[in-house]
Structure 1
């Protein structure tokens, strides 16, 4: 390990997993193997080592050094690994939220949030996945999508698994609300896909400046603006003015979320090995959790939180 992966657990505890009823052993019948904190450590170790899927994870957790370092009394069975992944799907959002809270308490968030969607590639054997279009690269792929809000040094703070990379406005609003529930930034940056009135007005009402390029779309009378917020402020406030140079500077920070997307893909989001939408979503959030664990661990060890390796 494996000294590298041991550091993943040096400053973090996953004992809170035992708080969730979904992991509780059955009261009657066969005793259920019940080691969620240890299995969480095991999955994070495997994802860090680019090991995915129930069988490969179970095989890796039979390595004596690995299962001892993760806190097991004995190596877990493949059935136990599979049951944990199935159970985790019910609480993986809460686990992610707990890790975001730990990152926030350490001051790893800043005052600029960025939102973007990314592709999630799936196996052809996954019948729940579909052929999706990626407008950024102008190509089709087989899989799903994920909308992520990030801040600081590649820190994901809100996310939603979607059917494709092109997420509906409802998803953007939900993920934005989740991000604001963590802490209120000054700026919220997105590309032209987020040029919607609801998104802008919701952020302005919350005291956040939205920065997304104006998209004239099919209007016959396009506005003479670069960013939608210019028009919203002109209509609703006589005292506030924003220089375009400042908006340009803020928008240049949007590359931060792209770097976050790349970092999370290196943690397993890039190619999901699970079959079925439910397990695919769980694996995506596990990748997001691993990115947070790596960032927090690097911070605690005095290294740059944005570093993608320990």
Structure 2
């Protein structure tokens, strides 16, 4: 019996009418049919077809991550639940191979899927005029052969795993991100993620900590009409300047008419705590510790967590609730 037939059954229909689940709410305002447009999900040239379509598998993973269920086997077990697989649009429970294959294929288009959801958030006015950039740790299982020993300067400790650089705005809304080999990402990663963020919408301010005290980052933003706010790192020179923020020096290179007041810069920099809250909310969605073996599945899990955070924010907005909340109230 297909899911359509089951949902037409009076007893099942009455169940869905009476019991409004968080899973149904997650998918109420967003369509995932756009996934079918990606070539990676097309049937193989050998003629092999998929037992399940990408939209229902995406919904299945989002449901599981919302319920703190990670890993191929736990996800496959959860999707055996009749109410769950019906809610996600399956006509029958997916096999472990189908779950594994989808996660592997998703990694190839993870950025594009994330970008699509960012666009949906932007259309709903969930972005504001201050962007914040930061990196966070992604802890891996000891059995992950691709992960490595990384250093977290914030906590002054080593961990085993990867990293992720995130730009966020508004109420814990991630708008650009990149999976990295460690929390301390190279400058080119910061530049790439910054460019991705500016491609969404142009803010007024871009805030980062002293790790972003680089000339290229500042000059790129100023040339784009965005004011970068990052503390000046005097350790980068033998002849330190008498400034608090690098932009105080660089602004003169780009404009003779603009003057930045110290209190304004201080107030803007204090908004940086927003990206830390975003990082924590995305970790609640599955970014905190990967339950995957290998870089491909780890990266896919990170972007699924980012996507889930966006889906929750959009869902809460559409339901008239707080987009910054990490839960859905039904």
- Whether the TM-score (by the shorter chain) exceeds 0.5 is yes
State the TM-score bracket (shorter-chain normalisation): over 0.9
Number of residue-to-residue matches in the alignment: 310
1:140 pairs with 2:158: yes
Q: Could you tell me which residue of structure 1 aligns to residue 297 of structure 2?
A: 279
The alpha-carbon deviation at position 251 of structure 1 amounts to 0.1
Q: How far apart, CA to CA, are the structure 1 residues paired with 2:264 and 2:157?
A: 33
Q: Structure 2 regions of 5+ residues with no counterpart?
A: 1-18
Residue 239 of structure 1 corresponds to: 257
CA-to-partner distance for each residue in 1:137-163, whole Å, 9 max, x for gaps? 111100000000000000000000000
Distance 1:37 1:240, change over 3 A: same
Task: Give TM-score scaled by structure 2 length.
Answer: 0.92
CA distance in 2, matches of 1:216, 1:154: 31
1:31 to partner: Cα distance: 3.3
Does 2:102 align with 1:84?
yes
On the 8 A contact 1:25/1:33 being kept in 2, the answer is no
Aligned to 2:10: none
Please say if residues 135 and 184 of structure 2, whose CA atoms lie closer than 8 Å, have aligned partners that are also in contact: yes
State the Cα deviation string for residues 102-146 of structure 1 (Å, max 9, x = none).
Answer: 000000000000000000000000011011100001111000000
What pairs up with 1:135-284 in 2 under 5 angstroms? 135-284=153-302
SS in structure 1 at match of 2:74: helix
Question: Given that residues 23 and 87 in structure 2 are in contact (C-alpha distance below 8 angstroms), is that contact kept between their aligned partners in structure 1?
Answer: no
Deviations 1:19-51 (A, max 9, x none): 011111235454332410000000000000000
Deviation per residue, 1:258-306 (Å, 9 max, x gap): 0000000000000000111111011000000000000000000000100
Range that drifts further, 135-144 or 23-32: 23-32
Residue in 1 that maps onto 2:132: 114
Task: Give the structure 1 partner of residue 147 of structure 2.
Answer: 129
* Aligned partner of 1:18 among 36, 43, 57: 36
Counterparts of 1:286-297 in structure 2, within 5 Å, are 286-297=304-315
Determine the structure 1 residue equivalent to 2:114. 96
Question: Hey, what does 1:45 align to over in structure 2?
Answer: 63
**Residue 91 of structure 1: SS of its match in structure 2?**
helix
Query: 1:25, 1:34 within 8 Å by CA — same for their partners in 2?
Result: no
Q: Which runs of 5+ in 1 are unaligned?
A: none
Distance 1:67 1:83 in 2: 18
The answer on whether the counterparts of 2:107 and 2:297 sit within 8 Å (CA) in structure 1 is yes
Question: Over aligned residue pairs, what C-alpha RMSD do you find?
Answer: 1.1
Secondary structure (helix, strand or coil) at the match of 2:159 reads strand
